[in-house]
């Protein structure tokens, strides 16, 4: 399976906020009650913060020298209204992805000549951008996982 070589923007803007008092930012005056729409795409592709911001490079967040702390950079909103579900969201995403990778090899489908069918990814726009449905093969990494998964389903 190939991963996208470029970053895909999943949300271009975020939830609008309204200021409670007048303020000046970079010489611009904003009266109280101004609506601010966060430019998520701009913030996440800021060349002064990220090296090669348009290159798909999840490793940029892994090391201690990470470009930027992904937790504080705004994917979960800003300021006092920051998403209160972010800890649940990150933990449950980590659990779901790590459990799937532990038991399945995830492979591309094959064409009639047995060659991997790797189609360019397509996306559906909306409040957040979703990948369009695509075919993929989930192969159990070992037979013993079959029982384990069935047992797990019984516990749901």
Dihedrals φ, ψ of 25, to 5°?
A: -130, 120
3-state SS assignment for residue 94: helix
Q: What is the total residue count of the chain? A: 156
- The distance of closest approach from Cβ of residue 56 to ligand HEM in the complex, given in angstroms and rounded to an integer, is 19
Binding residues for heme: 83
Q: Among 19, 72, 82, 91, which residue sits at the site for ligand HEM (rule: CB under 6 A)?
A: 82
| Contact call for residue 15 and ligand HEM (CB under 6 A) | yes
Binding mask 85-124 for ligand HEM (x = CB under 6 A): x--xx-----------------------------------
Query: 3-state class of 148 per DSSP?
Result: helix
Task: Tell me the DSSP string of 21-77.
Answer: S-EEETTEEE-TT-EE---HHHHHT-TTTSSSTTB--GGGGTSTT-SS-TTTSSTT-
13 binds ligand HEM per the rule CB under 6 A: no
Q: Count residues near ligand HEM (CB under 6 A).
A: 13
Contact residues toward ligand HEM (CB under 6 A) are 14-15, 75-78, 81-85, 88-89
């Amino acid at each position: 399976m190939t991963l996208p070589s470029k970053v895909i923007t999943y949300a271009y803007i975020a939830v609008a906020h309204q200021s409670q008092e007048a303020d000046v930012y970079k010489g611009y005056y904003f009266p109280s009650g101004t609506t601010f729409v966060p430019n998520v795409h701009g913030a996440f592709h800021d060349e002064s913060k990220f090296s090669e911001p348009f290159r798909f490079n999840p490793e940029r967040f892994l090391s201690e020298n990470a470009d930027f702390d992904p937790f504080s950079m705004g994917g979960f909103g800003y300021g006092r209204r920051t998403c209160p579900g972010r800890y649940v969201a990150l933990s449950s995403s980590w659990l779901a992805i790590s459990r799937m990778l532990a038991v399945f090899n995830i492979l591309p489908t094959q064409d009639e000549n047995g060659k991997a069918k790797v189609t360019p990814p397509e996306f559906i726009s909306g409040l957040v951008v979703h990948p369009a449905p695509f075919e993929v093969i989930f192969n159990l990494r070992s037979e013993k996982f079959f029982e384990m998964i069935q047992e797990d389903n019984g516990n749901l």
